[in-house]
A and B are shown apart, each in its own frame.
Chain A
Amino acid sequence: MTSILKNRLFWPAAILVVLLVINMFTSRQFVTVQDGHLFGTLIDILRNSAPLILVGLGMTLVISTGGIDLSVGSVMAISAAVACLLIQDLDDQNSVGPVLLIIGIAIVVSMLMGLWNGALVAIIGIQPIIATLILMVAGRGIAQLITDGQIINVQSGPYATIASGFFAALPVALLIAVAATVLILLLTRRTALGLLLESVGGSPTASRLAGIGARRITIMVYVVAGGLAGLAGLIYSANIKSADSISAGNLIELDAILAVVIGGTALVGGRFSIAGTVLGAVLIQTLAVTVVAVGIPSEANLLFKAVVVVALCLFQSPTLREKVFGRLTPRTARAEVPA
Chain B
Amino acid sequence: MGEQSPVLEMTGIRKVFPGVVALDGVDFRMFPGEVHALMGENGAGKSTLIKTLTGVYEIDGGEIKLGGVPVRISGPLQAQQAGVSTVYQEVNLCTNLSVAENIFIGREPRRFGKIQWGRMRRRAAELLARLDLDLDVSAPLSSYSLAIQQMVAIARAIDVEARVLILDEPTSSLDASEVEQLFRVMRQLKESGVAILFVSHFLDQIYEVSDRLTVLRNGQLISEHRVEELSQVQLVEKMIGKELAALEDLEDKAQRNRERAAEAKPILEARGLGRTGAIAPYDLTIHEGEVVGLAGLLGSGRTELARLLFGADKADHGELAVAGKPVNLRNPQVAMRQGIAFSSENRRTEGIIGDLTVRENIILALQAARGWTRPIPRKKQDEIVDKYIKALQIRPADPERPVRNLSGGNQQKVLLARWLITEPRLLIIDEPTRGIDVGAKAEIQKLVAELSDGGMAVLFVSAELEEVLRLSHKIAVLRDRRLVEELENTAGVDADRIMQTIASGATS
Interface, chain A (partner B; CB < 8 A): 190-193, 195-196, 198-199, 202-203, 205-213, 217, 270-271
A-B contact pairs, 13 of them (CB 8 A): A192-B372, A195-B356, A195-B364, A195-B367, A196-B367, A203-B349, A203-B354, A206-B350, A206-B353, A208-B331, A211-B332, A211-B369, A213-B368
Q: Roughly how many angstroms separate A190 CA and B374 CA in the complex, as a whole number?
A: 9
**A207 contact set on B, CB distance < 8 A:** 353, 364, 368
Instruction: For the complex formed, measure the closest distance between the CB of B317 and the CB atoms of chain A, giving whole angstroms.
Output: 23
Instruction: For the complex formed, measure the closest distance between the CB of A3 and the CB atoms of chain B, giving whole angstroms.
Output: 11
**What is the predominant secondary structure among interface residues of chain A facing chain B?**
helix
| B376 & A213 in contact (Cβ 8 Å cutoff) | no
**A271 contact set on B, CB distance < 8 A:** 355
B309 interface residue (CB < 8 Å to A): no
Interface, chain B (partner A; CB < 8 A): 310, 312, 331-333, 336, 342, 344, 349-356, 360, 363-365, 367-376, 418
Instruction: For the complex formed, measure the closest distance between the CB of A189 and the CB atoms of chain B, giving whole angstroms.
Output: 9
**A205 contact set on B, CB distance < 8 A:** 349-350
**B364 contact set on A, CB distance < 8 A:** 195, 199, 207, 210, 212
| A192 & B354 in contact (Cβ 8 Å cutoff) | no
| B353 & A203 in contact (Cβ 8 Å cutoff) | yes
| B349 & A212 in contact (Cβ 8 Å cutoff) | no
Instruction: For the complex formed, measure the closest distance between the CB of B414 and the CB atoms of chain A, giving whole angstroms.
Output: 12
When A205-B349, A206-B349, A210-B364 are in contact, do A198 and B356 touch as well, CB less than 8 Å?
yes
| A191 & B375 in contact (Cβ 8 Å cutoff) | yes
Q: Roughly how many angstroms separate A202 CA and B350 CA in the complex, as a whole number?
A: 11
| B365 & A210 in contact (Cβ 8 Å cutoff) | yes
Number of A-B residue pairs with CB-CB distance less than 8 Å in the complex they form: 81
| A202 & B355 in contact (Cβ 8 Å cutoff) | yes
**B355 contact set on A, CB distance < 8 A:** 198, 202, 270-271
**A190 contact set on B, CB distance < 8 A:** 375
**A193 contact set on B, CB distance < 8 A:** 372
When A195-B360, A206-B350 are in contact, do A211 and B312 touch as well, CB less than 8 Å?
no
- Pairs of residues from A and B, 9 with the lowest C-beta to C-beta distance, nearest first: A202-B353, A192-B375, A211-B368, A212-B368, A193-B372, A270-B355, A211-B336, A192-B372, A210-B365
| A217 & B332 in contact (Cβ 8 Å cutoff) | no
* B373 nearest in chain A by CB position: A191
Q: Roughly how many angstroms separate A308 CA and B56 CA in the complex, as a whole number?
A: 32
Known A198-B360, A199-B356; further 6 A-B contacts with Cβ < 8 A: A195-B375, A198-B356, A202-B355, A206-B351, A209-B332, A209-B342
* B365 nearest in chain A by CB position: A210
**B418 contact set on A, CB distance < 8 A:** 210
Q: Roughly how many angstroms separate A207 CA and B372 CA in the complex, as a whole number?
A: 13
Instruction: For the complex formed, measure the closest distance between the CB of B82 and the CB atoms of chain A, giving whole angstroms.
Output: 23
| A217 & B372 in contact (Cβ 8 Å cutoff) | yes
**B374 contact set on A, CB distance < 8 A:** 191-192
| B349 & A210 in contact (Cβ 8 Å cutoff) | no
| A209 & B367 in contact (Cβ 8 Å cutoff) | no
**B356 contact set on A, CB distance < 8 A:** 195, 198-199, 202, 270
**A203 contact set on B, CB distance < 8 A:** 349-350, 352-354
Q: Roughly how many angstroms separate A206 CA and B375 CA in the complex, as a whole number?
A: 20
| A199 & B336 in contact (Cβ 8 Å cutoff) | no
| A213 & B353 in contact (Cβ 8 Å cutoff) | no
* A215 nearest in chain B by CB position: B331
* B364 nearest in chain A by CB position: A210
* B402 nearest in chain A by CB position: A271
| B372 & A210 in contact (Cβ 8 Å cutoff) | no
* A217 nearest in chain B by CB position: B372
Q: Roughly how many angstroms separate A203 CA and B355 CA in the complex, as a whole number?
A: 9
Instruction: For the complex formed, measure the closest distance between the CB of B200 and the CB atoms of chain A, giving whole angstroms.
Output: 26
When A211-B333, A211-B365 are in contact, do A202 and B373 touch as well, CB less than 8 Å?
no
Instruction: For the complex formed, measure the closest distance between the CB of B63 and the CB atoms of chain A, giving whole angstroms.
Output: 22
Instruction: For the complex formed, measure the closest distance between the CB of A87 and the CB atoms of chain B, giving whole angstroms.
Output: 35
**B370 contact set on A, CB distance < 8 A:** 192
**B350 contact set on A, CB distance < 8 A:** 203, 205-206, 209
Instruction: For the complex formed, measure the closest distance between the CB of A5 and the CB atoms of chain B, giving whole angstroms.
Output: 15
| A210 & B368 in contact (Cβ 8 Å cutoff) | yes
| B353 & A196 in contact (Cβ 8 Å cutoff) | no
Instruction: For the complex formed, measure the closest distance between the CB of A25 and the CB atoms of chain B, giving whole angstroms.
Output: 41
| B333 & A213 in contact (Cβ 8 Å cutoff) | yes
Q: Roughly how many angstroms separate A196 CA and B372 CA in the complex, as a whole number?
A: 7
